[in-house]
Structure 1
Amino acid sequence: MKSQSCVKIMKEWDIVAARQMGREIAKSLGFGTVDQARITTAISELARNIYLYAGEGEIYFEVLESLDHKGISIVAQDNGPGIKDISQVMEDGFSTSGGLGAGLPGVRRLMDEFDIESEVGKGTRIITAKWVR
């Protein structure tokens, strides 16, 4: 059984809605409080990036279940300007917004799986997953 939910990111308040939905799903799957915090932090980063750089997009949540484990998939998708140099944005300390630059490298560390696809002028899709331990 696969269930998918989506939060559209168009205004700053939508970041909070995405965090809340992600935390609820994570809690229902049996993630502990530390992993719930990791997941919501990753969602914050992904949703904030959509809001700041693309203007709007979506955060999709999918429950992952197999015979031996379960988890959550979080996909951030937008039709924004795209990322010219993915290797540069994946460097610790790199920031285009004057922030700490913990963004995408931080998301990669917080989650168990991380993949990024981006095309300049077309948008970005980031696919992450976290498994219940």
Structure 2
Amino acid sequence: MMNSQSCVTILKEWDIVAARQMGREIAKNIGFGTVDQARITTAISELARNIYLYAGEGKISFNIVQSLDTKGISIKAEDKGPGIKDLSQVMEDGFSTSGGLGAGLPGVRRLMDDFDIISEVNKGTTIVTVKWLR
């Protein structure tokens, strides 16, 4: 269906749209309904926008993942930006460094089923999130 290296490099604002479109297409091909497709593309938007705003450059990668009884989409956002000093703070609802709604990463965590974040100051951030087909 797809190779394991489906990814979009995020350099300019338009790349956010490209990442959303690729993610939605993959989710649709796996069998996600329109509501979950919307959740997935919203999460991709947040992750890609964070790369664009805070790191300036990075990539969003997509993989189809399989468990014993279901499959899903794994989305990995990677950058070599400034990193996140206080992970617990950015994972709080309402916290925003950009003047936005602060739904950012906590919103992504709520929209998806699995959420993992690793960030090192001055080295970058990697977020891996998965949505499972029900």
Please indicate, yes or no, whether the TM-score normalized by the shorter chain is above 0.5. yes
Residue type at the aligned position of 2:72: G
Q: Counterpart of 1:114?
A: 115
Distance in 2 separating the partners of 1:66 and 1:45: 26
Residue type at the aligned position of 1:78: D
- Calculate percent identity across the aligned residue pairs: 83
Rate the CA distance shift 1:63–1:4 in 2: closer, same or farther, 3 A.
farther
Stretches of 4+ moved more than 6 A in 1? none
Residue type at the aligned position of 2:57: E
Residue type at the aligned position of 1:85: D
Q: Aligned-pair distance for 1:79? A: 0.1
Is 2:81 aligned against 1:80? Answer: yes
Q: Aligned-pair distance for 1:67? A: 4.1
TM-score (norm 1): 0.97
The answer as to whether partners of 1:4 and 1:63 remain within 8 angstroms in 2 is no
**Map 1:5-24 → 2, pairs under 5 A:** 5-24=6-25
Taking only aligned residues, the RMSD between alpha carbons, in angstroms, comes to 1.2
Q: Counterpart of 1:46?
A: 47
In structure 1, stretches of 5+ residues that fail to align are none
Q: Aligned-pair distance for 1:24? A: 0.1
Q: Counterpart of 2:95?
A: 94
What is the total number of aligned residue pairs between the two structures?
133
- The superposition leaves residues 68-125 of structure 1 with CA deviations (integer Å, 9 ceiling, x where unpaired) of 1100000000000000000000000000000000000000000000000000000000
